[in-house]
């Protein structure tokens, strides 16, 4: 019997090649889309799963109130780790992790700028990054030790054994390789190629014991017999115990299992995070697969009259209904298997592009037994989902009506087939509307006034001898005509490195906890960055030597300090008295989607610098300026590569996440429309075949091609119209909720919905009209010659 069913299934597939092709392609695209999304979801939910002690690992967080609002964040004082280890017996290890940026690694003639972390010696005992060589307990004990990944070891030493080899770091001191780590997986929080002991930070003068400096991340490993509940009340008051000035400051431990997906806080409580995208992607994957299955359901039930006699004969000769259901579900599973083979090919081909789009390193785990087992279950699930309704529908035919020829498919106002078509296009229209609104939001923020001139400006981190030779570099950049202005700051002009609530001014409320962005600059910052002065002047040490104690405020800072006339006002920072020399107009330094925060630019007296900023001379091309600048930097900093950043390119990267969301939404919308249109095309083809004699009669009676096309297209366009009426409020609500996360946001416009309606109707019309016009142009003599 099984052999007979299999033979019939292949004959049906071969006999109806067009419908088989539509079903297989539709299912394959749907399955491939679902597999890609599931690979992404699996990568997200498995973040840091490989750590053996992950159930006992926590991150130390702060929670405090500023300007009437509660904030939670995960940078802590450097001294907190020692306090955790010393004060709480529940703690097995406390470990700090500090991001160092990129340091110069030199081995012989090789010089590489490498990113990494500075950590406490117990880091490899807390986190389970596998060491290929070395001992995790001792690898970071020596002050001149360094642990490298296997990729970095190969870059530095080729195929030689890296253990015990010497590396010169930042052209200052030699370090010995005491461990080689297996390359990090792509689903871990940390991203480094080397680990240096905490002593390196101390040598650079960047360690401190001040409880007011929240600048590093602290991780805690609890003992196996301890619980979060037992230590949480003690940790809560740790900050106030060591810093008596902070009465309403709390600290808490945040479990590793929630870092990746849940760590967005609104006030004192979790408020989503990446879990929102995981859930959204899961819904999208489910709907795309469902839409592909709906095609199979619709085409199978639409062709019910073609197989009605087969069902009738099988029932007459004694086939039970359960046997027929098994036959039809078996056919759908077979089709699902063939589609899965095609889908696997699509996944392999499209995975590099999908990785580039999502900035992941996903791969198909062909060597995993679980992958193949999951694949079989996925095929069976898809086959059952796609074939269940057609199987029960076809097996329900009564043999008497079928064999008498009185059986006809229902043509009711509401049928399951129509409901399924509406469901398909509802989801497609929702994605079309969402794509357009996301694109609007990106453009809205991108067109927002930035407040400074980001064109023709570059910055370079002050690596190596740049700090020592800064005056010479600046002078040559200006004298050579490369630059019109040069200045130093503590962070790139598109980023915030520091903020504080410690400024003191005349009339300040003792309870005022306004958090100010704290920028540092020497002189010429207005001229170099192109920010606009609202009052006063730029910092200028050449003409005003006292500007080392000068300060610039933005307009938001003036409002926060309640100054009527800010110029000349005294502001203290760590008991150092500064005076305001200028007020600049507000500009965007953080997210273009959020309000501009109060900002203070402190003069040279209290400054530390990490960035050299250059305003290019517009008389030269950017290429010429960069070429000349590179020669100057290499002359005064010969051991380091010239690694510049253009500010306009850096600023554009602020939109990457939203662009990615918009691109993915557009891609999913296109796939959904493609699959839906495949099904619509198949239904239109079958409808035209089924009504061929009716069309012939109408043509004989004088019906035009246009009239017949309209007749055949009308029903489908009505279904798309109903889909729009269902999709519009759902899409509006979804986008309204999404936009609430952006204080600076676009208003949802009516024309977006009108355009989506017109676009979906046009796509449906084009899909259906091809078959409708073809049917309308057919010679009626051929369809009526047997009458």
Judge contact between 106 and 168, C-beta under 8 A: yes
Which residues, listed in sequence order, are joined to residue 169 by a DSSP beta bridge?
105, 173
Contacts of residue 223, defined as CB under 8 A and 6 or more positions apart, other chains included, come to 56, 89, 90, 91, 92
Strand 516-520 and strand 599-602: the pairing is parallel
Q: How does residue 692 score in pLDDT terms, banded at 50, 70 and 90?
A: low
Alpha carbon 118 to its chain's center: 27
With CA atoms as reference, report the closest residue to 178 among 192, 197, 191.
197
Alpha-carbon Rg for the chain in angstroms: 34
Give the SS3 label for residue 190.
Answer: coil
Give the SS3 label for residue 253.
Answer: strand
Give the SS3 label for residue 601.
Answer: strand
Residue 624 phi, psi dihedral angles, 5° rounding: -65, -45
Rounded to an integer, the average pLDDT of 587-595 is 89
Instruction: List the single range of 278-282, 385-389, 597-601, 698-702 with lowest mean pLDDT.
Output: 698-702
Q: How many CA atoms lie within 13 A of 34 on its CB side?
A: 26
297 vs 581, residue with greater confidence: 581
Q: How does residue 423 score in pLDDT terms, banded at 50, 70 and 90?
A: confident
Give the SS3 label for residue 143.
Answer: coil
Q: What's the mean per-residue pLDDT of the chain? A: 86
Rounded to an integer, the average pLDDT of 163-169 is 95
Contacts of residue 586, defined as CB under 8 A and 6 or more positions apart, other chains included, come to 451, 554, 555, 556, 596
Structure tokens at 517: 């962005």
Q: How does residue 448 score in pLDDT terms, banded at 50, 70 and 90?
A: confident
Strand 504-505 and strand 570-573: the pairing is antiparallel
pLDDT of 61: 96
Judge contact between 623 and 435, C-beta under 8 A: no
Give the SS3 label for residue 170.
Answer: coil
pLDDT digits (tens, 9 = 90+) for 453-508: 999 999 999 999 999 999 999 999 999 999 999 999 999 999 998 888 889 999 89
480 vs 769, residue with greater confidence: 480
What is the Cα–Cα distance from 135 to 122, expressed in whole angstroms? 11
Q: What predicted TM-score, i.e. pTM, was given to this entire model?
A: 0.84
What is the Cα–Cα distance from 64 to 74, expressed in whole angstroms? 12
Residue 406 phi, psi dihedral angles, 5° rounding: -95, 0
pLDDT of residue 8 exceeding 90, the answer is: no
What is the Cα–Cα distance from 335 to 356, expressed in whole angstroms? 31
Instruction: List the single range of 40-49, 277-286, 457-466, 688-697 with lowest mean pLDDT.
Output: 688-697
Provide DSSP, 57-112: EEEEEEEEEETTEEEEE--EETTHHHHHHHH-TTEEEEEEEEEEEEEEEEETTEEE
Judge contact between 236 and 268, C-beta under 8 A: no
pLDDT of 562: 93
320 vs 394, residue with greater confidence: 320
What is the Cα–Cα distance from 377 to 19, expressed in whole angstroms? 25
Q: What angle do CA 516, 521, 527 make, to 5 degrees?
A: 110
Rounded to an integer, the average pLDDT of 628-636 is 96
E strand or H helix at 21: helix 17-45
Strands (E), 420-556: 457-461, 483-489, 499-500, 504-505, 516-520, 533-536, 550-554
**Alpha-carbon dihedral angle through residues 61, 63, 64, 65, given to the nearest 10 degrees:** 140
Which residues, listed in sequence order, are joined to residue 188 by a DSSP beta bridge?
none
What is the Cα–Cα distance from 92 to 11, expressed in whole angstroms? 68
Instruction: List the single range of 315-329, 402-416, 557-571 with lowest mean pLDDT.
Output: 402-416
Provide DSSP, 659-721: HHHHHHHHHHHHHHHHHHHHHHHHHHHHHHHHTHHHHHHHHHTT--HHHHHHHHHHHHHHHHH
Alpha carbon 627 to its chain's center: 35
Rounded to an integer, the average pLDDT of 168-185 is 94
With CA atoms as reference, report the closest residue to 285 among 22, 48, 42.
42
pLDDT of 323: 67
Q: End-to-end CA distance of the chain, in Å?
A: 40
pLDDT of 483: 96
pLDDT of 2: 53
E strand or H helix at 242: helix 238-242
Contacts of residue 589, defined as CB under 8 A and 6 or more positions apart, other chains included, come to 493, 494, 495, 496, 517, 519, 599
pLDDT of 7: 63
Judge contact between 199 and 145, C-beta under 8 A: no
Instruction: List the single range of 289-303, 679-693, 709-723 with lowest mean pLDDT.
Output: 679-693
Contacts of residue 336, defined as CB under 8 A and 6 or more positions apart, other chains included, come to 27, 31, 379, 380, 382, 383, 386, 387
What is the Cα–Cα distance from 423 to 340, expressed in whole angstroms? 23
Eight-class DSSP state of 186 = S
Q: How does residue 52 score in pLDDT terms, banded at 50, 70 and 90?
A: very high
pLDDT of residue 86 exceeding 90, the answer is: yes
pLDDT of residue 690 exceeding 70, the answer is: no
């Amino acid at each position: 019997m099984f052999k007979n069913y299999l033979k019939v299934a292949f004959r049906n597939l071969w006999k109806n090649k067009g419908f088989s092709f539509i079903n297989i392609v539709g299912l394959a695209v749907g399955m491939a889309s679902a597999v890609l999304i599931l690979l992404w979801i699996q990568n997200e939910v498995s973040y840091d799963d490989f750590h053996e002690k992950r159930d006992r690992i926590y991150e130390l967080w702060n929670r405090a109130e500023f300007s009437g609002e509660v904030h939670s964040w995960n940078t802590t004082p450097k001294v907190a780790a020692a306090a955790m280890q010393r004060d709480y017996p529940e703690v097995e290890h406390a470990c700090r992790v500090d991001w160092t940026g990129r340091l110069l690694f030199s081995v012989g003639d090789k010089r590489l700028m490498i990113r990494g972390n500075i950590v406490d010696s117990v880091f490899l005992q807390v986190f389970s990054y596998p060491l290929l060589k070395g001992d995790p307990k001792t690898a970071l004990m020596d002050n001149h030790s360094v642990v490298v990944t296997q990729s970095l070891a190969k870059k530095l030493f080729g195929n030689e054994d890296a253990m015990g080899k010497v590396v010169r770091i930042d052209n200052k001191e030699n370090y010995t390789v005491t461990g080689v780590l297996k390359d990090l997986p792509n689903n871990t929080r940390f991203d480094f190629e080397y680990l240096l002991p905490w002593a390196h930070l101390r040598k650079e003068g960047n360690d401190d014991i001040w409880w007011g400096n929240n600048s590093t991340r602290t991780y805690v490993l609890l003992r196996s017999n301890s619980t979060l509940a037992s230590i949480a009340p003690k940790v809560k008051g740790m900050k106030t115990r060591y810093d008596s000035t902070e009465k309403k400051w709390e600290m808490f431990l945040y479990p590793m299992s929630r870092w990746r997906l849940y760590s967005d806080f609104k006030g004192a409580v979790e408020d989503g995070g990446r879990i929102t995208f995981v859930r959204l992607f899961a819904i999208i994957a489910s709907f795309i697969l469902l839409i592909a299955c709906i095609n199979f359901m619709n085409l199978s039930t639409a062709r019910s009259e073609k197989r009605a006699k087969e069902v009738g004969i099988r029932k007459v000769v004694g086939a039970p209904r359960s046997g027929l259901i098994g036959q039809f579900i078996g056919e759908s599973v077979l089709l699902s298997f063939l589609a899965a083979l095609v889908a696997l090919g699509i996944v392999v081909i499209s995975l590099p592009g999908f990785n580039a789009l999502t900035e992941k390193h996903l791969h198909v785990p062909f060597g995993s037994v679980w992958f193949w087992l999951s694949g079989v279950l996925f095929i069976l699930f898809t086959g059952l989902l796609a074939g269940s309704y057609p199987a029960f529908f076809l097996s329900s035919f009564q043999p008497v009506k079928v064999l008498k020829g009185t059986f006809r498919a229902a043509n009711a106002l509401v049928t399951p087939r129509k409901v399924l078509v509406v469901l398909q296009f509802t989801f497609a229209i929702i994605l079309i509307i969402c794509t357009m609104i996301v694109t609007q939001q990106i453009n809205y923020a991108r067109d927002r006034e930035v407040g400074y001139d980001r064109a023709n400006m570059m910055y370079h981190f002050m690596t190596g001898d740049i700090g020592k030779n800064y005056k010479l570099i600046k002078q040559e950049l200006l004298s050579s005509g490369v630059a019109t202005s040069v200045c130093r700051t503590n962070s790139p002009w598109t980023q915030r490195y520091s903020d504080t609530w410690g400024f003191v001014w005349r009339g300040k409320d003792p309870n005022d906890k306004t958090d100010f962005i704290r920028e540092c600059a020497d002189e010429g910052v207005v001229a170099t960055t192109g920010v606009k002065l609202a009052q006063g002047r730029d910092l200028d040490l050449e003409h005003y030597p006292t500007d080392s104690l000068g300060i610039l405020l933005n307009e938001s800072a003036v409002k926060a300090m309640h100054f009527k006339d800010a110029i000349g006002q005294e502001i203290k920072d760590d008991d150092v008295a500064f005076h305001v020399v200028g007020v600049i107009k507000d500009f965007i330094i953080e997210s273009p989607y959020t309000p501009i925060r109060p900002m203070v630019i402190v003069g040279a007296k209290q400054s530390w610098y990490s960035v050299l900023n250059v305003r290019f001379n517009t008389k030269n091309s950017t290429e010429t300026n960069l070429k000349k600048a590179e020669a100057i930097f290499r002359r005064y900093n010969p051991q380091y590569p010239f690694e510049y950043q253009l500010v306009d390119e850096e600023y554009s990267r602020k939109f990457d996440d939203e662009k990615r969301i918009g691109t993915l939404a557009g891609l999913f919308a296109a796939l959904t429309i493609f699959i839906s249109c495949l099904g619509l095309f198949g239904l239109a083809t079958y409808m035209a075949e089924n009504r061929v004699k009716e069309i012939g009669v109408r043509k004989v009676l004088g019906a035009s091609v246009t009239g017949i096309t309209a007749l055949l297209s009308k029903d489908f366009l009505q279904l798309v119209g109903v889909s729009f009426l269902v999709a519009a409020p759902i899409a509006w609500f979804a986008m309204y909720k999404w936009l609430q996360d952006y204080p600076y946001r676009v208003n949802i416009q009516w024309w977006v919905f009108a355009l989506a309606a017109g676009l979906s109707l046009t796509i449906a019309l084009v899909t259906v009209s091809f078959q409708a016009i073809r049917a309308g142009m057919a010679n009626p003599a051929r369809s009526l010659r047997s009458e």
